[in-house]
Structure 1
Amino acid sequence: MPPPTASQKPAPKLNGKTDKPVPAAAEHEEHSGKPDQNKYNAEQDALNKEIAALKAKQDALRSRIALTQAPKGDDRRSQLKAEMDALRGEQGKFKTERGKLFDEMRKLQDSVNKKIKDVQAQRQKTGFKNVAEVDARVAALNAQVESGTMKLVDEKKALQEITMLKRARKTMEASGSSDEAIAADKERIEALKKQLDDPEAKKVSERFDALKKEMDALRAEGDKAYAERNKLYDERTAISKQMDDLYARKRDAAQAFHDAKDKYYAKQQAIRQARQERFKAEKAKEDAARREEEITQMREDAKAPAYASEIEDCTILINYFAGKYGVGEVPATSTEKKATTIAGVKAPEVRQVTSDFAGMQLKKKDDELDGWFAGSGKGKKKGRKGASATGSNAASGTATPTAPAHADSVNLPMHLLSALLGFGISPPTGKDDIARAVSDLETKKAWFEANSEQKTKDEIARVEKLVAKMQKKNAPAEGDDEEVESEEAKDEPAAAAEAEAEKTEA
């Protein structure tokens, strides 16, 4: 797969349009035709202020002219008169209610005065102010009678006085209820007085006075305007003409601004469209070139003989088994030969697996430790000697086989074993089984060689179908590129003429 082209990489957004910075002169030329929104707003605001001032004068003139004419149903004087009539009706209702309140207050006041006189007369007869004083006097007389110190005549007088006081007490209790009634009547009178000070009635009265004052002012102004009504008509006509001129200027300015704005945005749209078309054409061209590279690579890969690596692996394995076992270096398979080198990059160092460890016996951890920790006992001289030898070998980094390998065993390197298993052939169990493995490998190799040519043709046919599809994609891209170039060639004189016209206008 070829590396990504420049069109597939994220480009820096310098001006939000393309990956190339736009010069300052070109940017100024591109935006020079845009109408100034602030200037347009200021012009419209100035016209609106003039229109508002003239409209205020016109409304004032209409009001003064209306005063010289007979009142209509919707003018201010008719509204004031209707509201004043409604207020008069409310004032009459409030006046009737106040009369009723005054009558009720008069009756309550007479009742209170009569009750007060009756209570005062009753208290003057008894000589006591309240029931508590009567009870205190009765208690004192009872105490004197019960003490037994009084004379018979005095005791009779005391008993007669007690009887009289008890009667007076009943009378005073009745007068106490009269006091409560008097207090209730006084509270009712105060409540009625508060109703006389009704805030609604006061508000209606104040509103009526304000309307009457406004009506008088309108009448005076109407009398004055009637004397100069011809002059008012002339002023109204002049103001109407000025307002018509201002509205016409406002409409013309708005139309010119919108036309310039539409022209500017249409121009910007055309520029953006042309830029997008150029970008699409460049990208299509780059994609077509990339596809051509892919087509070339695919055709080269398809022409390579099929099963070449498999045939090579079979040959290597057959030669390996045919040679002397365990002598010389092991041949490398095609899997290892596939590694490619890149210019300027150091080739990776791959560790080579050798057969030095063939037949080596793995030791346990305890056996290894015996070699390092050899004792000084006399009875273990033989063990120490063997241990020191093992330790020296371990320290030198070489593996010494502890037991000789079986004479008939076959040990294959890992990469050869992987290649053999990849063909679905079981590895030989011994030297007697090598002939079977070689026969299977020759059968596989013969099949690969017999089918290599047909497989290569099939691969070429398959690649050619893909190439046809990719070439169909390249055809429209080439046509679009030619169209864009022709359109740009046509637009160049028009763009130059438009730029020259803008410079002339500026």
Structure 2
Amino acid sequence: RFRFRFRFRFRVLTMGDLCASFSREQEEQNGIRTQLKALDAQKDAVRAQQKAIREKCQYVKVEDIDAAIERLENEMAHTSMPLNEEKKIVVQISELRKSKALVKELFESSGGAVDPAARDALYAQLKAVGEKITSLKAEEQEQRKIMDQIKAELGESKDEIPDLFKQKSDQYEIVKKCKETINKLRDEHRKVEDEYWTKERAWRAQAKEDRQKKWEAEQEERKKRDIERKQRQLDEAGEPFDREVTTCEQLVSYLKTFDKEEVAAEEVKSAPQAQDGMVVLNKKDAENEMDSWFTGSGKGKKKGGKKKATKPEKIVHSMDIISSFASLGLTAPTNKSGMSELITKLGEKKAEYLEKRKDEHVKRAAQKEAIAAQIAEGETKADEGEEKTNGTAEEKPEEAADAPEETAKE
């Protein structure tokens, strides 16, 4: 029975497709007929227009009027005729030209002549559509015969349909009861789940509040540590500009060593000369000189012995000395000239840095006062029990968790 019902259902679907195709072909056929009617109406309008033109003038086409005008003009040009006949032909040509304009205007207003090829093409399409409709009707009749045959083969099974409907109704009642049971169980589960989420939200709110309080306490502690660290850094900081002042003093001492060497050299030059007839002790190569007196083997004096002018001695500094001068904005000297001026500049630099040191002491004192005020303000707030919020309580506890690691690094 199921097999027969399936075959019957398939034929019903096939019949539906045929009906849809039949409807589409009919719509196409109606459209072609509408176009043919429009062409017929246009053709009738053209005929009526031509009839009206014939009543007004002899010719109904522009080509015919042009041919008549050309014929009359040719006749005037190649035929000798009286003046009256010539005037009549001129008047006739003028009237033909006027009728030409009228015919052209009426022809354009009527939409032009009907194309016979377009009408033949529409008739061919209408014929093809009619053949398709005929074939579809034949297929529809064939499907109806098959459906009738299936109904005949189904036979006595038609009587079982009411029992099947009753069985379906009974089963529907069972399905309905099952759905009611499912809905009841779903409501109970939803109730339990709502209670769970109520408790879960309360627990999360409490945990959020605890994290907020913990974060606030850690922030306060961190702020205190920051203030203490700043105060400790100020207490442990050395004298400001100590490196610059020390550099100035060391460079002054370094330059004075060259002054000492120059003074020592002057003292040697100004030592008392030996008296006539006396020999200076510890003279270099003294014995060789005595021998030369008796043997005549001493070195002769060079001719033209004029003393050359003494050049200033160049000074070579280490890289540390050069970098020290550069850090102060000065240039290391290349010779001993101008040492006193450079020492004076170093003294001025030292005085300048000492003046800056006084200003830095004033700034540090102000910073210490500000830190002491912050400590006093924090203690006052702690005594009054003020509470602070950061505005992003969900994210700050995660930052607070990283605070111990930052404290350890510090």
Q: TM-score range by the shorter chain?
A: 0.3 to 0.5
TM-score of the pair, normalised by structure 2: 0.38
